[in-house]
Structure 1
Amino acid sequence: MEDLEAAAAVGGKREEPPPTYCVTGATGYIGSWLVKTLLERGYKVHATVRDPAKSLSLLSLWTSGERLRLFRADMQEEGSFDEAVKGCNGVFHVASSMKFNVHPNEDIETYVRSNAIDPAIKGTLNVLKACLRSKSVKRVVFTSSISTLTAKDDSSENLRHVVNESCQAPVDHVWNTKASGWVYVLSKRLTEEAAFKFANENGIDLVSVITTTVAGPFLTLDVPTSIRVLLSPITGDPELFSILSAVNARMGSIALVHIEDICSAHIFLMGHAKAEGPYICCAQNCLMSNLVQHLAEEYPCSNIRSVEKESNLVPPEISSKKLRDLGFNYKHGIEDIVHHTISSCLDYGFLLPIAK
């Protein structure tokens, strides 16, 4: 597959028209920024939305709109992605549910399977089936999550020194422990597994991006969930802080990536001929106490949640070696991520200015 970043130019002009890419879940945090990035890089984009009315605010933010087409599509409706995918060179499947916990009156496991896991799998398979029918799609890049992985060793509660793409969270353990955020963990873990199974059986070139906690600026009408989780030590939201704490317990640290870098990684993997399988996308990870310190330095409020400092603890490396070995480089570290996140939330009004 031709590298997107090396699209040939002769006499200053492209030999061929720019590729066309479909982005599912275009009104979400990653999806909306990915549409923006693709348009800025000169590609044509088919963006799928469940409710076109909710995308109106984004149209003015997506520059170069003449190369953009919007399509209504619902992941639970088989065939609804056919028109959006038709004629596309590749598909970025970003859309997913963000259910973290449930509190049903009925049997909880039955409820989770029927209301979270099964719909997520069905939706992803509907997208992959549309790609098969298109005959034009050469690769699908699937947005996965660090929630599918664990730093804990299978044989004990000890933390591994290095976490790579093979360190998958055991499904039985997630069902049994039901730690905060467990519904999302199962949904992403089982959906990615089903996607690779279907892709392998049907000859689809599928690559997944295992996103760590994504933060930075945003285009969405609401503050993205990942940012709310990251800022929970500041806001004091107990449910979101429990999710952040559960991530820290499972991974031994908080792993971060800037929204610009996660979108660049998606595009990089779409175009790299040697890309295959899953790739962790982590710019930097740090202990929970260090994260809180970074937040406090950027936003010095008096009510920030105190976290006991982990003495003499070295966090596991959340390794992006597989991605870096292909030639990918990160633009933003933790200081940028925290600064841009706080600045964006101040501009939005989610955080109040600190009196000086």
Structure 2
Amino acid sequence: MEMDAPCSELAGSGARPILVCVTGATGYIASWLVGSLIRRGYDVHATTRDAGKASWLVSALGGYKSRVKIFEADLNKDGSFDEAVKNCQFVLHVAASMQFDISAQENIEEQVKTRILEPALRGAINVLQACARAGSVKRVVFTSSISTITGKDDAGDWRSIIDESSSESITRVWKMKPKGWVYVISKLLTEEKAFQFAKEKGIDLVSIIPPTVAGPFLTPSLPASLRVLLSPITGDPQFYPILASVNSRLGSIPLVHIEDICNAHIFLMEQAEAEGRYICSAGSCSIPELTDLLSSNYPTFSSKIFDENCCKTRYPVVSSKKLTDLGFKFKYGASDIIQQSVACSVEDGFLR
């Protein structure tokens, strides 16, 4: 899928384009974000672990490809991001491991610490150190995850409103080890460490908290978040438990369209008064509501295979009020997101 035609005014018309670094540029959100920035008139330094595998991204950008420069950078190598961040005014740190679980049978917690958590923390610090050294970076936007948020309070009761303060407990995740717990711990710790380091170094950092991101995609294969969303149709034994885990933690499946999450990244990058964390969710579905929407857009799938009484209770509201109060507006709702996700997955051949 090729990027659309220009959809907004060029940033700094008549002046030298502002330079933005996007990490993890071959991922789902980051690849779309690169295109969104370029269409707005920004120039982009895009990082990836293997520049040779980024050719599809350059092709997808079509006539805009002259505005992006690809840099090889490894989160686990000190100084790896220095060249990519050099002269950039903004850094959008999207790169992250998408490892949900670990197969180790023994010393699992120690293996998670050494194989996943320590590299993840080191990666976040490497990017921020590059920002500190560059001297040109005005703001860093850190991509967090809804996995850092819970719908239940300390007593285990449902909250009425879920907002940025509704953080998951690292201690509880370590103890309970729910599905996808490795990813949850990784995101909790890296965001916490990023804010701590940024404060120490005087770096202006805000974080954005995406829920399940869906809609069109540029990546060569279907993104993991779409596989999670479509897992009621596919019955995927790896991804459906993740969907169920999100539902059990939040009481629903919060959603955002890929275009909206990228626009929100840029919005928070540009808004000088932005600070702290921002949930970016356009709306939520219970699993029965989700399966009904899926079956209406993909008639060969029947939602009747799911218990009609499942999750019918009223669920907490996942609030993006902090973001919308700042002036952000969502373009797509849940039904649009589901419809486009199914259509793109059929077009791609993932769904028949």
Give the TM-score normalised by the residue count of structure 2.
0.95
Equivalent residue number for residue 217 of structure 1? 216
Matched, 1:332 2:329: no
Change (3 A) 1:182 1:311: closer
Change (3 A) 1:302 1:318: closer
Deviations, residues 113-148 of structure 1 (Å, cap 9, x unaligned)? 111111111101000000000000010000000000
User: Does structure 1 conserve the Cα–Cα contact (< 8 Å) formed by 2:22 and 2:34?
Assistant: yes
Change (3 A) 1:333 1:302: closer
Equivalent residue number for residue 125 of structure 1? 125
Q: Give, in angstroms, the shift of residue 312 of structure 1.
A: 5.7
Distance in 1 separating the partners of 2:310 and 2:351 = 28
User: Does structure 2 conserve the Cα–Cα contact (< 8 Å) formed by 1:288 and 1:307?
Assistant: no
Q: Give, in angstroms, the shift of residue 308 of structure 1.
A: 3.5
Equivalent residue number for residue 85 of structure 1? 85
Deviations, residues 50-106 of structure 1 (Å, cap 9, x unaligned)? 011111111111131111111000000010100000000000000000011111133
Equivalent residue number for residue 46 of structure 2? 47
Matched, 1:271 2:232: no
Q: Give, in angstroms, the shift of residue 182 of structure 1.
A: 0.5
Corresponding letter in the other structure for 1:119 = P
User: Does structure 1 conserve the Cα–Cα contact (< 8 Å) formed by 2:93 and 2:141?
Assistant: yes
Distance in 2 separating the partners of 1:7 and 1:326 = 22
Equivalent residue number for residue 104 of structure 2? 104
Give aligned pairs, total: 343
User: Does structure 2 conserve the Cα–Cα contact (< 8 Å) formed by 1:78 and 1:126?
Assistant: yes
Equivalent residue number for residue 187 of structure 1? 186
Equivalent residue number for residue 247 of structure 1? 246
Deviations, residues 138-182 of structure 1 (Å, cap 9, x unaligned)? 1000000000010011112x2100000001000110011111011
Equivalent residue number for residue 290 of structure 1? 289
User: Does structure 1 conserve the Cα–Cα contact (< 8 Å) formed by 2:294 and 2:301?
Assistant: no
Matched, 1:233 2:224: no
Q: Give, in angstroms, the shift of residue 215 of structure 1.
A: 0.2
Q: Give, in angstroms, the shift of residue 301 of structure 1.
A: 1.9
Equivalent residue number for residue 31 of structure 1? 30
Corresponding letter in the other structure for 2:179 = S
Distance in 1 separating the partners of 2:301 and 2:46 = 42
Q: Give, in angstroms, the shift of residue 6 of structure 1.
A: 8.6
Identity of aligned residues (%): 53
Equivalent residue number for residue 309 of structure 1? 309
User: Does structure 2 conserve the Cα–Cα contact (< 8 Å) formed by 1:286 and 1:315?
Assistant: no
User: Does structure 2 conserve the Cα–Cα contact (< 8 Å) formed by 1:162 and 1:317?
Assistant: yes
Equivalent residue number for residue 69 of structure 1? 69
Distance in 2 separating the partners of 1:223 and 1:127 = 27
Distance in 1 separating the partners of 2:207 and 2:297 = 33
Distance in 2 separating the partners of 1:294 and 1:307 = 15
Distance in 1 separating the partners of 2:10 and 2:31 = 24
Three-state SS of the structure 1 residue aligned to 2:60 is coil
User: Does structure 2 conserve the Cα–Cα contact (< 8 Å) formed by 1:89 and 1:136?
Assistant: yes
Give the TM-score normalised by the residue count of structure 1.
0.94
Unpaired stretches in structure 1, ≥5 consecutive residues:
none
Deviates more, 1:321-330 or 1:147-156: 147-156
**Aligned-residue CA RMSD (Å):** 1.5
Distance in 1 separating the partners of 2:283 and 2:334 = 6
Deviations, residues 163-222 of structure 1 (Å, cap 9, x unaligned)? 000010001100111110111100001110000000111100000000010000001111
Distance in 2 separating the partners of 1:165 and 1:6 = 31
User: Does structure 1 conserve the Cα–Cα contact (< 8 Å) formed by 2:151 and 2:162?
Assistant: yes
Three-state SS of the structure 2 residue aligned to 1:239 is coil
Unpaired stretches in structure 2, ≥5 consecutive residues:
1-7
User: Does structure 1 conserve the Cα–Cα contact (< 8 Å) formed by 2:261 and 2:280?
Assistant: yes
User: Does structure 2 conserve the Cα–Cα contact (< 8 Å) formed by 1:208 and 1:279?
Assistant: yes
Distance in 1 separating the partners of 2:34 and 2:236 = 30
Corresponding letter in the other structure for 2:313 = L
